[in-house]
Amino acid sequence: MDILYQVFALYTGTPIILVAAIGVAWGIVGGALPGISPSITMALLLPFTYTLDPTSAVVLLACTYVGAEYGGSVPAILINTPGTNAAAATTIDGYAMKQRGMAAEALGISLYSGVIGGIIGFLLLVFLTGPLVRVALLFTPPTYFALGLLGLSVIASLSGGSLVKALAAAVIGLMVATIGTDPISGVSRFTFGQADLLGGVAPILIMVGLFAVSELFAQSSLGEWVKSAADTARIRFPDGKLRRRLVKPQLIGSGIGAFEGVMPGAGGTIASFMSYNEARRWSRHGEEFGHGSPEGIAAPESANNTVACTALVPMLSFGIPGSNATAVLLGGFLIHGMRPGPQLFQENSDVIFGLYSGLAISPFLLLALGMMMLPLCIWMVNRPKAYLMAFIYALIFSGIYSIHQSMFDLAIVLAAGGVGFFMRILRFPFLPLVLGLVLGYMVESNFRRSLVLSGDDPMVFLQDPIAAGFLALAAIFVCGSLAAPLFRSWRQGREARS
């Protein structure tokens, strides 16, 4: 009863419901715009979270993530163009239903399944992260160093096909992390006489430039989006018989989404396609898949909305973002002086409680706002692309300038956007760079602090059992990622010979 009273007091005494509603609404709009991914939608809000209290800031960003995962299904169904990468699987049967004159039913299945996935994902988030509070006091400087190294080892699984490119991107992030003041001696490093760099480069500037500005640069070379007919702006929810049929694909999608969400580098896209394939495998109506199957919408939409919550587990528990969207949310924590990890549950338990409370109502806000905002999403997709791009540019630059009233910050954002644009062309992954930027200070400072405390004895990292366990996991990650291509080559060669 005490928890229920605290939740009621939070809902009635703070603007958390309003903030969550704004986040979900903005996420739906951003997700519905082709090319504007959840991470970009969240990055556009980052500068404006400076004026909010920490709880409202993280709730706003997390609920934006939830809304964007659903919003991506709207253009996927109506114009065969996924608004987000995770909605790509929804286009297969969603657009097929639209061509059969069942757009309202497809949109209803998408929203209904997204709400179910969001509820399951929230329950799993609370269940999986809660027990980690007990180990909060066991972490020492060697443990934090090993944890940071474990986070960097995840880069091997985020290579996107090229480990060399992933490592190069991570090195760039680590180099940017060294700019500023030395964490132990206090000596300035790589500032080149610029007073603006004494405090280092704020992660928010790199993230906004890397995700949002680089995407705008890329979109400027593409043509207009496909338009949607205004008469499709309605939703029809499934009836009782269809809801019973959708239970199995929704459970399959949520189960795979739960597993993929906590795995670094997996995310909603992989979960959506895996869920689609498994739902088709276990369906009694497998022949309908690809021709407008309701189950082909329910499975991927349940999966990516479950991922929106379960992807927060490694970020909150260990401070390791496993996707671009959670990396942006990590930036929101850092803006307010909080570093996700075991200590977060002890030092900022009120923020975690507020985040859980905001995510608890997000599925219901998604249900209400999803129906209300569909006409607005269609209207925005039908606007001239140049106007929307100009609006987003103005939003970015006004938000960044409002932080410190600094033109130098705008220059950093533009420079990061230029780097991100060329990284897109050369197919370099973004997340390793963000990991290097965020974890660089943590690894360096705790490594040097551990050596100071141990009298330069490197065995201190193996004497701590938790640190030794993290280092062993990091070694397994790296060895597994290096061995996987060799195993695939060996298997392909064996198949070719047979």
pLDDT in tens, 303-339: 888 888 888 887 887 777 767 788 888 888 888 888 8
Distance of alpha carbon 111 from alpha carbon 92, whole angstroms: 17
Among the ranges given (31-35, 202-206, 447-451), the one the predictor scored with the smallest mean pLDDT = 31-35
pLDDT of residue 104: 80
Q: Is the sign of the CA dihedral 396, 400, 406, 411 positive or negative?
A: negative
Q: From the CB of residue 469, how many other CB atoms can be counted at a distance below 10 Å?
A: 13
Provide the pLDDT confidence category of residue 349 given band limits of 50, 70 and 90: confident
Identify the residue with better confidence: 172 or 39.
Answer: 172
Prediction pTM value: 0.73
| 280 close to 300: Cβ distance less than 8 angstroms | no
pLDDT in tens, 282-306: 778 777 787 788 888 888 888 888 8
| Domain count along the chain | 1
Percent of the chain with pLDDT over 70: 84
Phi-psi domain of 341 (left: phi exceeds 0; alpha: psi -120 through 50; beta: other): left
| 91 close to 76: Cβ distance less than 8 angstroms | yes
pLDDT in tens, 142-159: 887 887 787 777 666 555
The residue segments making up the domain with residue 172 are 2-497
pLDDT of residue 133: 58
